Amino acid sequence: MAAKKSQTGSSSEAAETARRAPMREFSRSLPMSLLRAREAVMRQFRPALRNHGLTEQQWRILRALTAVDAIEVTELARVAFLLGPSLSRILRDLEARQLIERRAAKADLRRAVVSISAKGMKLIEAVAPTSEAIYAEITGRFGARKLAELQEMLGVLERSLAAMEVAGEESGKIEE
């Protein structure tokens, strides 16, 4: 089971090092931990959403819209945590399905204002009980206190990194 040592010789000396001593256990890296945890959670919700013809992101948007009377697209992107292009496509689809309504802002024709329709609201109402039940089950299994603690830590992590420089621009092509 030993790695194929001394095969290519000195050429892959560092390669051998990496092979023997992985940078990090990888599956234990923070991004992987967060990814797996999120997937474990979403795996519970996706079937229920799917039964109502909604994807996770479409659900996020409709959910966000129930909390406001109307909202501009950019602000909606921030709240639902979606990038502009994704949001554009999804809004086009949701509008075609008449789950939302869109109109131009009077004061600034560049801006579009979105709101949920009665039909969209009914859909939300149909899914909400199941969704809430699942959330309650998760809370029960993991523990309400631990859940709050976890979310607090996630928030701290997020804020810790918010101010962090996004380095990696390699050479000094910072300005263009």
**CB of residue 51 to DNA, shortest distance in Å:** 11
Q: Does 105 bind its own copies (CB under 8 A)?
A: no
Residues 6+ apart with CB under 8 A from 167: none
Pick one of DNA, its own copies, none as the site partner of residue 146 (Cβ within 5 to 8 A by kind).
its own copies
**CB of residue 110 to DNA, shortest distance in Å:** 4
SS3 113: strand
> With respect to its own copies, which residue has the nearer C-beta, 73 or 116?
116
Q: Does 86 bind DNA (CB under 7 A)?
A: yes
Q: Does 98 bind its own copies (CB under 8 A)?
A: no
Q: Does 147 bind its own copies (CB under 8 A)?
A: yes
**Any idea which residue has 């967060």 for tokens?**
34
**Interacting residue with DNA among 1, 96, 109, 167 (CB under 7 A):** 109
Pick one of DNA, its own copies, none as the site partner of residue 73 (Cβ within 5 to 8 A by kind).
DNA
3-state helix, strand, coil in the chain (%, to 5): 60, 5, 30
Q: Does 94 bind its own copies (CB under 8 A)?
A: no
Report d(CA 90, CA 93) in Å as an integer. Answer: 5
Pick one of DNA, its own copies, none as the site partner of residue 53 (Cβ within 5 to 8 A by kind).
none
Do residues 123 and 99 touch, judged by C-beta distance below 8 A?
yes
Sites for DNA among residues 10-69 (CB under 7 A): 39, 42, 46-47, 50, 55, 57-58
> With respect to its own copies, which residue has the nearer C-beta, 79 or 112?
79
Strand-by-strand arrangement of the 71-72 sheet:
71-72, 112-116, 100-104
The packing angle between helices 56-66 and 84-96, to 10°, is 80
